Amino acid sequence: MKLKRRFESFICEVCGFENDPLSTGTRNHCQECLASLHVDEETPGDRESTCQGVMIPVSVREDSKKGWIITHRCRACKKRIENHISDDDNFDSLVLVAEGRWEDSFLRRGGA
Ligand SMILES: [Zn+2]
Ligand SMILES: [Zn+2]
């Protein structure tokens, strides 16, 4: 049997937003709060990781060749993964990441 990659909608574990699947490529983070899940091990979309931890956006930067890049850090294993930003990502959330205020805004203090 051949493995087929499917683009499925997912409910964000951080903010509860229901994300529609991207028609082009893999949506690997929430378009509303930008949080992600640790499902990829080596390359985006490989779905090889068994960690499944929540990945939070820790920084954004502009790459002259690739465009805007967001760095996620896994809260469970601390792994960092870089991702491209999607056109429909929430700009206000991007600003919160850039200003270092994302965690205060989306994670309850002292919470999980
Ligand atoms: Zn979210
Ligand atoms: Zn992890």
What are the tokens at 89?
A: 């990502």
Instruction: Give distance in angstroms: CA of 68 to centre of ligand 1.
Output: 19
CA distance linking residue 36 with residue 15, whole number of Å: 11
Residue 107 maps to a domain: no
* Mean pLDDT, the chain, whole residue set: 85
What's the 89 CA to ligand 2 centre distance in angstroms?
22
Residue 79 belongs to domain spanning: 10-100
pLDDT digit string, tens, across residues 56-69? 999 999 999 988 99
Residue 28 pLDDT more than 90? no
Residue 108: band (very low, low, confident or very high) from pLDDT cuts 50, 70, 90: low
- Total domains present in the chain: 1
The pTM score is 0.82
28 within a domain of the structure (yes/no): yes
Residue 54 lies in a domain: yes
Rounded to the nearest angstrom, the distance between the alpha carbon of 97 and the centre of ligand 2 is: 20
- How remote is the CA of residue 12 from the centroid of ligand 2, in Å? 16
Q: How remote is the CA of residue 85 from the centroid of ligand 2, in Å?
A: 20
Q: Encoding tokens for residue 46? A: 């490989």
Bridge partners (DSSP) listed for residue 62: 68
Q: Give the residue ranges of DSSP H helices in 64-101.
A: 91-98
Q: How far is the CA of 54 from the centre of ligand 2 (A)?
A: 7
Which of the four pLDDT bands, split at 50, 70 and 90, describes residue 25?
A: low
Residue 24 has pLDDT above 90, yes or no: no
| 3-class DSSP state of 46 | coil
- Note whether residue 106 is domain-resident: no
Residue 71 belongs to some domain of the structure? yes
> What count of Cα atoms within 13 Å lies in the side-chain half-sphere of residue 105?
18
